[in-house]
Amino acid sequence: MQRALRSRVLAALALVIPAVLLGAQPAHADPVSQTSGFYVNPQSSPAAWVAANPGDGRAAAIRSAIAQRPMASWFGNWSGDIAGAVGRYVAAADAVDKLPLLVAYNIPGRDACGGHSGGGAGSVAAYDAWIASFAAAIGTRPAVVVLEPDSLGDFGCMSQSQINERVGMLSRAVNQFRSKAPNTWAYLDAGNPGWIDAATMAQRLNTAGAAGARGFALNVSNYFPTGDNINYGNRVAGELRRYGYSKPFVIDTSRNGNGANGQWCNPAGRRIGTPSQLGGGAEMLLWLKTPGESDGNCGVGGGSSAGQFLPEVAYKMIYGY
């Protein structure tokens, strides 16, 4: 019992001290210190594939290297009743004293520039209601949530009125988690090192309510090396000081083991990266995109749809070929 308590205290200090050094003030109670590690979802797409294909020669490797690793679950317009879907997922993690990782991906005009993951809520009002239900479904249980991948990088494909609507939705979303989910750390997506310069991204984060979020997330569904993301994240955090505050950041390391090759949509030769952990140069390194899930009908995922689990892609990603 004493060892477990000591471990939790040390884990909490590991997160709080960097945040203080950055000038960030934690908005909520620390969900990491309230749990005994990250949640492994037994119903993830790789876990479901392994369960359905036990005799496949790739199953053992996919099970041990991917399905048994903590990674995020994504929620969007495919999730049906969002309160029920989020509530069940967070409750399952809470029942085993683990910290769930969630990605909210339902903003109107989603993936405006990429196009492979288009869709989202049908209106601003629909999104506001959806994200309010999302936050309320978590309630007082501990969680980590990444808000709306691509949303602050896609401005080049949007009109000014659409941009204004989007940053308003994101800012209100941050406030929903502050008010309805006091033990959740919410991170606004901030793209990746190869997309938007740090000063511009900091300005966008600020208009989208970053002051009220725990921090920002980098490299979601992309392949840039962890070191590149750390450098970029530190630059963005520094630029945020222009607005009177700074924030910690997390990095998606699920598919960056071989770095990037200039392509973002199912490039060949990628590899799984560092499993989810505290620290590592950021507040956390997290598997946010599920290795083996397609980016869309492109690259080595030709003929697939975004989010579809491709066992051959997953298998090759374990070994980097």
Question: Lowest-pLDDT range, 13-22, 92-101, 165-174, 250-259?
Answer: 13-22
Instruction: Look at residue 11 and tell me whether its pLDDT is greater than 90.
Output: no
Number of domains into which the chain is organized = 1
Q: How far apart are CA 65 and CA 67, in angstroms?
A: 7
Tell me what pLDDT residue 150 has: 94
264 is in an annotated binding site: yes
Q: What would the mean pLDDT of 249-270 be, rounded to a whole number?
A: 96
- Quickly count: other Cβ atoms within 10 Å of residue 118's Cβ: 12
Could you tell me which residues come within 8 angstroms of residue 39 by beta carbon, excluding any fewer than 6 positions away? 70, 92, 93, 96, 98, 99, 100, 101
What CATH number did the domain enclosing 9 receive? 3.20.20.40
195 is in an annotated binding site: yes
Q: How do residues 58-68 score in pLDDT, each as one tens digit?
A: 999 999 999 99
Its pTM stands at: 0.90
**Residue 225: φ, ψ to 5°:** -60, 155
78 is in an annotated binding site: no
Instruction: Look at residue 229 and tell me whether its pLDDT is greater than 50.
Output: yes
289 is in an annotated binding site: yes
Could you tell me which residues come within 8 angstroms of residue 137 by beta carbon, excluding any fewer than 6 positions away? 82, 83, 84, 85, 86, 87, 90
Catalytic residues: 150, 295
Which residues span the domain enclosing 190? 2-319
Tell me what pLDDT residue 28 has: 60
Task: Return mean pLDDT, the chain.
Answer: 92
